[in-house]
Amino acid sequence: MNILLIFACLILPITFVIGVHNLIAHLVIPRVMRSRASRSLYFMSAFIGVPIHELSHAFFAVLFRHKIDKMCLFQRENSGRLGYVQHRWNTRSLYQVIGLFFIAIAPLFGAGLVIVLSRYSFNIPIDGFHYASQATNIVDLVSVIYSNMTVLIHSALSQWHAFVWLIVMSLISFHCIPSRTDFNHALKGSFIVLAVISLLLLVLDVLNFQTASNVIFAVWSISVTMLSLVFISSLLWWGILILFSLVPKR
């Protein structure tokens, strides 16, 4: 099993989305905070997504036996920091060090769970939504993303509750992306996680090559498809915030 393939499938999509989102945040947040209109919109947009973000961190911190010292589900700071979970761990515990990776990316899981559960709870019609296949190249991937966005927009325009759902879910996606601090914590545990997953897939490879391949591409398909929607939500809302920052002061 090619370890570089595993790295590309499991790590790079997350790294790309987190990296671009935080780069834009670094460049845009100061401008957003200088404008009353964009600052107000930014804080309002975070009202639902940030608590989900921080609760996801907290859940995984408890799961991996970290000690939570302090938690803030939502705050209004001009620095753009909207919440936090301060936690400690035993650096000699392999389990707790591995947990750093999952705690850092936990908001992606939390947002995904909320999106899936709410979609079925409110019976949002998204017939035609599909995941990228393992034979997908970059052109096909763009086609899949475009097709899925078309399905979501068509659903939103057909029913008012689907429109509200899409707006709220896009905001949750926007605020579920791990911060730069989260990313730095993820790096501390990512190499150990990669080694463990590689070993697991190697065992699967020995037992049944097709099973191992299916595991890799299933994870890749779901992660790339869902992360593409998160990424588009990020770009969309950063664009809206920039436009609001252009509103002249009265």
pLDDT at 128: 62
Structure confidence by residue, pLDDT tens digits, 7-31: 566 677 788 888 899 999 999 999 9
Can you say how many angstroms the Cα of residue 50 is from the centroid of all Cα atoms in its chain?
Answer: 12
**What CA–CA distances, in Å, run from 241 to 148, 149, 245?**
24, 21, 6
pTM: 0.82
Per-residue confidence band for 54, with pLDDT thresholds at 50, 70 and 90: very high
Cα torsion angle, 6, 8, 13, 19, sign: positive
Place of tokens 């997504």: 49
Structure tokens at 100: 């750093």
pLDDT band of residue 1 (cuts 50, 70, 90) is very low
* pLDDT of 182 higher than 70: yes
Q: How far apart are CA 179 and CA 15, in angstroms?
A: 11
Instruction: Provide the token pair at 195.
Output: 């080694």
- 208-239 pLDDT per residue, tens: 655 555 666 666 666 777 788 888 889 999 99
Instruction: Express each pLDDT in 101-150 by its tens digit.
Output: 899 889 989 998 998 888 888 877 766 666 655 545 566 667 777 777 78
Reported residue count of the chain is 250
Q: CB atoms < 10 A from the CB of 205, how many?
A: 17
Contact present, 62 and 68 (Cβ < 8 Å): yes
Q: Where are the domains of the chain?
A: 3-245
